[in-house]
Amino acid sequence: MAVRIEQIPAIVGRVRWRQIDFSRYLRLDGARYLLLLTLIVCLLSLVTLVQSGLVTRMNYELVALRQQQVQLNREYSRLQEQIARVQSVESRMKRATDMGFRPPTPEQIRYIRIPNLPELDE
């Protein structure tokens, strides 16, 4: 087992000497200043590159969504046209004749008179 016999002030003195010695490394001379400046420029370039990549990716997604919107609008218009065609009078008459219906003859038409109805003003 090792025993240290040094006194505490001697150890504190060496720690102070190490702190002073370490502060020498923190001083920026020309090479260290240039290295720090290069590191900062590289980090800023990396941030800019990542940001522009994200913006580009979002732009591609936006273009794809707009194309999908155009496609869905076209499909919506086509379906609206199809609904209008199916609901037209000619289409309904054709479907009725295909099902066996025919226009009524004058003998089949009956008019019913309902008493005590107010007259309609046109």
**Cα 56 to Cα 37: distance, rounded to the nearest angstrom:** 28
More confident residue, 25 or 55: 55
**Cα 92 to Cα 101: distance, rounded to the nearest angstrom:** 11
- Quote the pLDDT of residue 86: 85
Q: With a threshold of 0.75, does the pTM exceed it?
A: no
- Quote the pLDDT of residue 116: 81
Please report which confidence band the pLDDT of residue 23 belongs to, taking 50, 70 and 90 as the band edges: low
**Is residue 22 predicted with pLDDT exceeding 70?**
no
Residue 74 near residue 68, CB atoms below 8 Å: no
The amino acid at 58:
M
